[in-house]
Amino acid sequence: MLTDILLVFLAAAGLILVIWCLWGLLLLPVFGHNMTTLCFSRGDGDELEQRVRAFGWLRDGKYTGGQLVIVDCGLTGLGLERAQRLRDRHHWVAYCPGPALIDYIELIKDTI
């Protein structure tokens, strides 16, 4: 009888803990809105669309904010075209050539 009461109490406490954690996750975003995420890409940029969609899903869910910067680490002509289309489609996507990354970071750092 005592073990049954103890098990019910522990199960109820566990359920309350899980609900409390989920509620906190829903109410508090994980990252701030001034965050800059770098997406390194090369070749034809086959993965760009998927990465931008995943970042957009996180943005829509308020799990992240800020902008996504596509860093060119050797994109081909097709890859550059894909990056440009994504940049035109989403206002929170930016493009940066690989060699200019340090200057871009300095520019972003000055605006924060």
Q: What is the pLDDT of residues 4-62, one digit of tens each?
A: 898 999 999 999 999 988 877 666 655 566 788 899 999 998 899 999 999 998 888 77
CB-CB contact of 45 with 72 (8 Å): no
What's the mean pLDDT in 52-79?
87
Q: What DSSP assignment string belongs to 16-82? A: HHHHHHHHHHHHS-SS-TT-EEEEEEEET-TTHHHHHHHHHHHHHTTS--SEEEEEEEEE-HHHHHH
This model's pTM is above 0.75: no
The amino acid at 62:
K
Which pLDDT score, from 0 to 100, does residue 31 have? Answer: 59
Which pLDDT score, from 0 to 100, does residue 90 have? Answer: 94
Q: How far apart are CA 109 and CA 111, in angstroms?
A: 5
